[in-house]
């Protein structure tokens, strides 16, 4: 019967090819990264003077350079229990923020404000952690909830402005990022957030009762929470009524409105949920155990660039919760493995950043990847005659 074949073909058309392009993008990024490592090393380049007389010299030097760097990257990412713990610690906030950005993508919204939403969440979570003494379990729960509320409100403001005034979410979220950063900078000059006896812009340490419990080194409960958030996001998008509405609005807002859906309400709800997930990333920084099992105190650069990195994670993960989890783990591994590349192979840590950029570049240009690998090209649409192909 033709139905099963059609189903398999349609599944490959909708999912298989995109994931194959993503996998090939990673391979191409590693190849380009290898070329960059070779041409940027003067000792290796000088060996190419003997390419035609003693080719084993340049080829051997190139292989030694690339293999040592990528071996160190692999070992630093997943080569030991400690490396795995570091990778999960780096990946947890990326997964949460990536889920927020990806959820916005599914509704046709470009949420660049995950950075500001994570900052506001980190502020509230850290404040609850060091200013409100509570019993152990309750303290952590309240701190996390405070961060979620902060991120949801910060994202909801954007959704409300877009739904009610038509303001573009890209412009509004960029401005909200600056406002969030300014609020944090101001708060770190006040007595309520300043560490006693210090005039440096740094907060008191979070109480141990509000820290994500660590199971092994940097592997802590926050990563488990990130995986649960991914599972709930998948259920929300694929199995819930609101998820169907989000996908419908993202596919065609006019058709969704014609079908009776409130595009404005869906926009607000999506941005609230997107901000909530980005806020969960902020709580990972504020409440996650640091190197000594104590969270890094609240400071101007606590959340780093997680909101902007989340955009690349969401793009690499194709806005799919499962894909975002793997993308977050990949980028977390690149972050932790980059340090090993520098210490073990003498490769600058910026090479890991270059690999991330190359992966995103190839993922964002599927036509280029298909041109390099012709078997990934989509077949041309057949003309329809009489309603049949």
Q: What is the pLDDT of residues 113-156, one digit of tens each?
A: 999 999 999 999 999 999 999 999 999 999 999 999 999 999 99
Does residue 216 sit in helix, strand or coil?
strand
Q: Is residue 29 part of a domain?
A: no
Least confident of 108-122, 302-316, 324-338, 365-379: 365-379
> Is the pLDDT confidence value at 235 over 70?
yes
Query: How does residue 79 score in pLDDT terms, banded at 50, 70 and 90?
Result: confident
Q: Is residue 354 part of a domain?
A: no
- Bridge partner residues of 214 (DSSP): 220
Kindly give the residue spans of alpha helices, DSSP state H, lying in 240-377. 241-251, 253-258, 263-287, 306-316, 321-345, 350-363, 366-372
> Is the pLDDT confidence value at 8 over 60?
no
Q: Is residue 166 part of a domain?
A: yes
> Is the pLDDT confidence value at 379 over 60?
no
Q: What is the mean pLDDT of the chain?
A: 86
Tokens 């994202």 -> residue:
155
Q: What is the pLDDT of residue 304?
A: 87
Q: For a pLDDT cut of 70, what percent of the chain falls above it?
A: 90
The domain total for the chain is 1
Query: How does residue 16 score in pLDDT terms, banded at 50, 70 and 90?
Result: low
- For 102-120, what is the mean pLDDT? 94
Q: Give the C-alpha separation, 186 to 184, whole Å.
A: 5
Q: What is the pLDDT of residue 377?
A: 59
What does each C-alpha distance from 52 to 19, 38, 55, 59 come to in angstroms?
40, 18, 6, 11
Q: Give the C-alpha separation, 101 to 304, whole Å.
A: 17
Q: Is residue 76 part of a domain?
A: no
> Is the pLDDT confidence value at 94 over 90?
yes
Does residue 317 sit in helix, strand or coil?
coil
Please give the structure tokens belonging to residue 195. Answer: 């560490």
pLDDT (tens digit per residue) in 340-361:
888 888 888 788 888 888 887 8
Task: List the CATH number of the domain containing 218.
Answer: 1.10.3470
The boundaries of the domain holding residue 321 are: 84-346
Q: Is residue 177 part of a domain?
A: yes
Q: Is residue 381 part of a domain?
A: no
- For 52-65, what is the mean pLDDT? 90
What does each C-alpha distance from 34 to 79, 110, 147, 319, 354 come to in angstroms?
20, 33, 41, 28, 11
Q: What is the pLDDT of residue 229?
A: 96
Q: Give the C-alpha separation, 266 to 379, whole Å.
A: 35
Q: Is residue 233 part of a domain?
A: yes
Please give the structure tokens belonging to residue 128. Answer: 């609850």
Name every residue whose Cβ is closer than 8 Å to that of residue 242 and which is 6 or more positions away in sequence.
236, 266, 269
- For 68-97, what is the mean pLDDT? 91
User: Residue 64, Cβ neighbours under 10 Å: how many?
Assistant: 12
Q: Is residue 176 part of a domain?
A: yes
User: Residue 49, Cβ neighbours under 10 Å: how many?
Assistant: 11
Of the ranges 92-106, 211-225, 299-313, 371-385, which is most confident? 92-106
């Amino acid at each position: 019967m033709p139905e099963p074949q059609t189903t398999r073909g349609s599944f490959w058309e909708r999912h298989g090819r995109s994931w194959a392009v993503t996998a090939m993008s990673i391979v191409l990024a590693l190849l380009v990264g290898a070329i960059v490592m070779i041409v940027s090393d003067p000792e290796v380049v000088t060996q190419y003077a003997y390419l035609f007389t003693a080719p084993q010299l340049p080829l051997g030097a190139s292989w030694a350079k690339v293999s040592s760097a990528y071996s160190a990257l692999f070992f630093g990412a997943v080569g030991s229990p400690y490396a795995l713990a570091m990778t999960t610690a780096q990946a947890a906030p990326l997964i949460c923020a990536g889920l927020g950005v990806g959820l916005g993508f599914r509704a046709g919204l470009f949420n660049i404000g995950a950075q500001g939403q994570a900052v506001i969440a980190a502020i509230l979570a850290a404040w609850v952690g060091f200013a409100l003494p509570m019993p152990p379990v309750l303290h952590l729960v309240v701190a996390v909830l405070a961060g979620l509320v902060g991120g949801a409100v910060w994202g909801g403001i954007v959704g409300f402005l877009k739904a009610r005034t038509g303001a573009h979410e890209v412009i509004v979220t960029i401005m909200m990022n600056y406002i969030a950063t300014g609020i944090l900078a101001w708060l770190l000059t006040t007595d309520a957030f300043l560490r006693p006896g210090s005039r440096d812009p740094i907060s008191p340490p979070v109480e141990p009762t509000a820290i994500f419990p660590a199971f092994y080194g940097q592997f802590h409960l926050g990563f488990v929470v990130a995986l649960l958030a991914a599972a709930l996001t998948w259920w929300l998008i694929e199995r819930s009524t609101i998820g169907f509405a989000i996908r419908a609005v993202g596919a065609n807002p006019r058709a969704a409105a014609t079908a009776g859906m409130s595009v404005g309400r869906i926009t607000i709800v999506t941005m609230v949920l997107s901000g909530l997930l980005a806020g969960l990333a902020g709580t990972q920084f504020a409440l996650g155990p640091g190197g000594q099992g104590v969270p890094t105190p609240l400071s101007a650069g606590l959340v780093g660039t997680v909101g902007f990195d989340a955009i690349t994670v969401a793009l690499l993960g194709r806005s799919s919760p499962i894909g975002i989890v793997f993308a977050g783990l990949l980028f977390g591994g690149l972050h932790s493995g980059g340090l090993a590349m520098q210490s073990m192979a003498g490769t600058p840590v910026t090479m890991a950043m270059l690999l991330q950029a190359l992966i995103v570049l190839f993922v964002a240009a599927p036509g280029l990847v298909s041109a390099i690998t012709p078997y990934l090209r989509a077949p041309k649409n057949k003309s329809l005659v009489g309603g049949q192909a």
